[in-house]
Amino acid sequence: MTSRPTLQDVAALAGVSAKTVSNVLLGRPNASSATRERVLAAVEQVGYVANPAGRGLVSGRTGRVAIVVPNLHQPYFAEMAERLMVELESHALATTLVVVRSGEEERRVVLGESTPGVDGVIILPHMLPWALPEGGTLPRPVVQLGSTATPGIDWVAMGERTGMRLVTEHLLAQGHRRFVVLWNAEVGDEPGERFGGILDALGTVGIGRDDVTVVAGSDWDRRESGYEAMAGLLRSGRDFDAIISVNDALAVGAMRALADAGLRIPEDVAISGFDDTEEGAFTSPPLTSVSPEQAEMAHSAVRLLLERMNGYAGPAREVLTGAHLVSRASTVRR
């Protein structure tokens, strides 16, 4: 039986020391680009696979990253978790999936009080932001993906304002003027990026905030809430011809309520979502949605985390990804 390739085999082929091979595999910065390329080529050629346990003893690392989500019944969180797992795996990192159900649980993960044995954390928050303790530092690298920026934490933000402006402009171009916004809660004095994008577009045709009906269900992550909110609106007798939903999950529930009421989509009412989840492409009719560039978000989050894990100790950074409209039959009359 052929023996398993060793670190020394890689070193001999690359013409460097075993310590240099180790430094390259651990991501340490003390090797030139040419040396790094030579070592990685040798690793691939001999088929060397690092021993995670041994590597952890030497480096103090586990080779594992926690992906933290508030739930998995919301398609967006499930799909993003899978994207992150695949992206991290391409860097030879394993993952631990953690579901947290409160702001306190999120805080404990971020501050390292829970989820031990991981080298870093990527969190898709539900309750954040919150303030780090004054003068406090994070015990391990953390990247926040989505929501509102948390001071002191690297943040990847989706193009929420751009996306909602695009879908609202699309609905206006279809001739709609009587809008319902299916939201996650009451909209306060500061409407936020998503609602702000809607108002940006409506303002160009003289439709103000007071002209928009806002409805919300009991839980913005569930399809049942979309059904509940839409059924209540239909009972009110309010007149409307277009619905903009804060996410696909609520839109899917609302579509069922519209169908149960005998309304045709989009002939009677047009409806759009946000997140461009796979589910939306298979509704009847398929759901128009906003893609927040999930692949770009996952790639950026992992890049920021790896830079922290490899020694970057500078101030928190922000990356804003794009957004584009995915137009489908739920808003386009045939």
The reported pLDDT for the residue numbered 29 is: 63
At residue 85, φ and ψ (nearest 5 deg) are -60, -45
- In sequence order, what are the residues at sequence separation of 6 or more whose Cβ sits closer than 8 angstroms to the Cβ of residue 60? none
Query: Does residue 75 register a pLDDT over 70?
Result: yes
pLDDT tens-place string over residues 168-190: 999 999 999 999 999 876 655 56
Rounded distance between C-alpha atoms, residue 114 and residue 60, angstroms: 18
- In sequence order, what are the residues at sequence separation of 6 or more whose Cβ sits closer than 8 angstroms to the Cβ of residue 225? 216, 217, 218, 219, 249, 250, 253
CATH number of 7-59: 1.10.260.40
Domain covering 64-158+293-322, topology: Rossmann fold (3.40.50)
In contact, 95 and 68? CB cutoff 8 Å: no
* Top-confidence residue, 281 or 36: 281
The second-level CATH assignment, the architecture, of 160-291 is 3-Layer(aba) Sandwich (3.40)
Query: Does residue 299 register a pLDDT over 50?
Result: yes
Q: Which of 59, 58, 46, 66 is nearest to 5 (CA)?
A: 46
The reported pLDDT for the residue numbered 136 is: 67
CA pseudo-torsion sign 313, 144, 192, 126: negative
Query: Does residue 294 register a pLDDT over 90?
Result: yes
In contact, 76 and 35? CB cutoff 8 Å: no
- In sequence order, what are the residues at sequence separation of 6 or more whose Cβ sits closer than 8 angstroms to the Cβ of residue 52? 62, 63, 94
Domain(s) labelled CATH 1.10.260.40 in the chain stretch across 7-59
pLDDT tens-place string over residues 119-164: 999 999 887 666 676 666 788 999 999 988 888 899 999 999 999 9
Q: Which amino acid is at 321?
A: T
Region 232-259 average pLDDT: 96
Q: What is the 3-state secondary structure (H, E, C) of the chain?
A: CCCCCCHHHHHHHHCCCHHHHHHHHCCCCCCCHHHHHHHHHHHHHHCCCCCHHHHHHHHCCCCEEEEEECCCCCHHHHHHHHHHHHHHHCCCCEEEEEECCCHHHHHHHHCCCCCCCCCEEEECCCCCCCCCCCCCCCCCCEEEECCCCCCCCEEEECCHHHHHHHHHHHHHHCCCCCEEEEECCCCCCCCHHHHHHHHHHHHCCCCCHHHCEEEECCCCCCHHHHHHHHHHHHHHCCCCCEEEECCHHHHHHHHHHHHHCCCCCCCCCEEECCCCCHHHHHCCCCCEEEECCHHHHHHHHHHHHHHHHCCCCCCCCEEECCCEEECCCCCCCC
pLDDT tens-place string over residues 197-236: 999 999 999 999 999 999 988 777 789 999 999 999 999 9
Domain(s) labelled CATH 3.40.50.2300 in the chain stretch across 64-158+293-322, 160-291
